[in-house]
Amino acid sequence: MPVPEVKESFTGSVNRVTLGATKDSGGTRTSTITVGGARNVVYGGSIENAGEKPVIAMDVLDSRPDDWPDLLAENYQDVMDSPGDWAKKCIEQFGADLICVKFEGIHPDKKDLDAAHAVKVTEDVLKAVGVPLVLWGSGYDEKDNQVMPKVSEAAKGENALIGSVKEDNYKALTAIALADGHHLITHAPLDINIAKQVNILVSDMGFPLEKVVTFQATGALGYGIEYAYSIQERQRLAALGGDKMMAMPAICDVGYEAWRAKESKLEDAPGWGDVKDRGPMWEATTAICLLQAGVDIIRMRHPRAVATVKNFINQIWQ
Amino acid sequence: MILIGERINGMFKDVKEAIATKNKQPIQDLAKKQTEAGATYLDVNVGTAAADQEGTMQWLIETIQETSSTPLCLDSQKVNVIEAGLKVINAEAGAILNSTPLNKKNDEEILDKYIEMAEQAGPKASIIALTMDKNGVPQDIDTRVAIAAEIVQKAMEKGFDTQRLFIDPIVLPVNVPNAQVQAGNLLAAMDQIKYLSDPAPHMTVGLSNISQGTSERNLINRIFLAIAMSHGLDSAIVDVLDEKLVNAVATAEMLMNKQIYSDSFLKVYTTANKA
């Protein structure tokens, strides 16, 4: 009997998602970003099946953070009070593909800023840069439900990626994102069963699955990255197997998680190497690891880590 | 799981009547209902409903294709009826030629013919090949596997992708005297057939046959289907309108880790996995 040729036989693929709306499509973005489309596992087989290049969304906070380590904050001291300038710096100087506006400051335990502030920040960033935006709430459900619909409205027609919605808090933001023409981030706590369920729930509300990006939660290097990795990998395999409820591109939050690790910022640790390198390396390593599991959009913070990861992406996705 | 909906068959009274009166509506309704219930393919069998089997096969196919784009499974033991069907079928999204044995006393080359017909029908057309030969249906495990191996080998020799091959190890009614052992034999044969090529050939069965003439038909069907799935069965000709049966398929796939669990896993099974 002849030895058969073993071929890849995946029937499904990751959805291709385009973020941002230019003037022609009713928005004001000067460029759009397309992610997803993979028809194989990462590095599996031919480049034709690799899908779109992953992209980096750099974090811009809605207000000056007071808990960023100096080594990270020093890159942004001149712009931290102006989200528009901050976004501009990320794009023009640090090569971000898009901007993730994180509304940390609206959290009641932080600065408890109001919707008017969040809307102003959204408008400023939209004016300052032409790339598509990710608009991300504080994680405090009640406050997000008050503020994020206003943010959505302020970016109406811009085809932003807005989030996140969870299993027990999805209705308000899903409805408004649908009305305002945005893409939606579905969020699960490192639990693939819940991840699928959230997708089903938003789909039941009539939100198109083709406009969903999943967030499985992220663990940094040394802090649960293996869980995030295996979930991302499983999501990709399910997508390739034809599961429409798991065929979305994925976003991960590397910047926040990597800089939470003490290894990235502890100065008094002579055995761990120079702290100036350690933080960016921690962030870049976390990002590159998750890229290999199959994430499409990476939220990042340190310019040197961004440069390293961009270089990696460009070499792999040639 | 590739579910082939069995309802468009002239053996069923409603279909027989529709054929006799050339009434398209019941046929088109069955196509729609079975598709919504999760059918990947729709079986089309003229049965004993009409003398003109070729013409009836063509009428059924044209009637279904007027309102449905679900791929079809042409079901006849007669080559000329399948050939007639292929003249009018749209096989772009796939089609199955159902079915051929390895060989027949009066036609040693019948499998070759089916492979050639599938090749002509289009790159997505498949065949169902039964594990039977000119000596009839084997009763033991080894002969079933040996015939399956010959079928797979023939396909490979002809350059026919084994992914376009459905091996049917032939289900027999469980209540036939001395046949109760056959269900187990079938499972044991499946355990070996799945290793005949890589990727494995598909395996399919005419499920309802297992419960022919028994009481508790639906229960027997769905329990056997779930067990057979765990032995590598990845397709079956079934009554997809039996909701409990489709739920059993969804649950078996989930338990086998082929589908990711979610609280709504039953609800989304038929919609989430449509190609």
- Mean pLDDT in runs of 10 for chain A (318 residues)? 62 95 96 96 83 97 95 96 98 98 97 97 98 97 96 97 96 96 97 96 96 95 94 95 94 97 92 93 97 96 98 89
Q: Which residue in chain A is spatially nearest to B151 when comparing CA positions?
A: A1
State the DSSP H helix or E strand holding residue B16, giving kind and residue range, or none if neither: helix B13-21
Whether residue A243 and residue B272 make contact (CB cut-off 8 A), yes or no, is: yes
Q: Which residue of A has its CA nearest to B257?
A: A238
Say what the pLDDT of residue A7 is.
57
To the nearest whole angstrom, how far is the Cα of B152 from the nearest Cα of chain A?
9
For position A5, what pLDDT does the model report? 53
- Taking the whole predicted model, whether its pTM rises above 0.80 is answered as yes
Q: Do A234 and B264 lie within an 8 Å CB cutoff? A: no
Name residue A34's beta-bridge partners. A18
Average pLDDT, chain B: 94
> What was the ipTM of the complex prediction?
0.79
CATH number, span B96-241? 3.20.20.20
What span, in angstroms and rounded, lies between the C-alpha atoms of A170 and A211? 15
Of the ranges A43-47, A251-255, B106-110, B119-123, which one carries the lowest mean pLDDT score?
A: A43-47
Helices (H) and strands (E) in chain A — how many of each? 10, 10
Asked if A3 is an interface residue toward chain B (Cβ–Cβ < 8 A), one would say: no
| DSSP-based three-state secondary structure for B259 | coil
pLDDT at B275: 43
Exposed e or buried b per residue across A80-102, where buried means at least 16 C-beta atoms within 10 angstroms of its C-beta: bebbbbbbbbbbeebebbbbbbb
The model's pLDDT over B11-22, given as tens digits with 9 standing for 90+, comes to: 999 999 999 999
A316 touches chain B (CB under 8 A): no
- CA distance from start to end of chain B: 11
Interface of B with A (CB under 8 A): 152-153, 156-157, 162-163, 197-199, 258-265, 267-268, 271-275
Contacts of B263 in chain A (CB under 8 A): 193, 197
Per CB-CB distance under 8 Å, the chain B contacts of A1 are 152-153, 156
Per-residue confidence (pLDDT) for residue A290, from 0 to 100 = 96
Contact between A1 and B199 using a beta-carbon 8 Å cutoff:
no
Q: How far apart are CA B226 and CA B224, in angstroms?
A: 5
Q: Please report the number of interchain residue pairs, chain A to chain B, with beta-carbon separation below 8 angstroms.
A: 51
Closest Cα partner for B41 from B146, B142, B136, B126? B126
Q: Of A221, A153, A230, A235, which Cα lies nearest the Cα of A186? A: A235
How much is the pLDDT for A47?
A: 79
CA angle A230/B195/B248 to nearest 5° reads 60
Rounded to the nearest angstrom, the minimum Cα separation between B72 and chain A is 19
Task: For chain A, give every domain's residue range.
Answer: 16-316
- Do the Cβ atoms of B263 and A193 come within 8 Å? yes
Which uninterrupted H or E stretch holds A185? strand A183-187
Q: List, in sequence order, the alpha helices (H) in B99-242.
A: 110-121, 141-157, 180-193, 217-229
- State how far the Cα of A293 lies from the Cα of A6, in Å rounded to an integer: 23
Instruction: Write down the architecture of domain A16-316 according to CATH.
Output: Alpha-Beta Barrel (3.20)
CB contact, 8 Å: A271 with chain B? no
Q: Reduced to 3 states, what is the DSSP secondary structure of residue A220? A: coil
Q: Which helix (H) or strand (E) holds B128?
A: strand B125-130
Give the mutation candidate from B2, B264, B270, B271 for the A interface (greatest A CB count, under 10 A).
B264
Q: For residue A241, which residues of chain B lie inside 8 Å, CB to CB?
A: 258
**Is A242 at the interface with chain B, CB within 8 A?**
yes
In chain B, which residues have their Cβ closer than 8 Å to the Cβ of A243? 259-260, 272-273
Residue-wise pLDDT for B225-275, tens only, equals 999 999 999 999 999 999 999 999 999 999 999 899 999 999 888 776 554
Q: What percent of chain B has pLDDT over 70?
A: 99
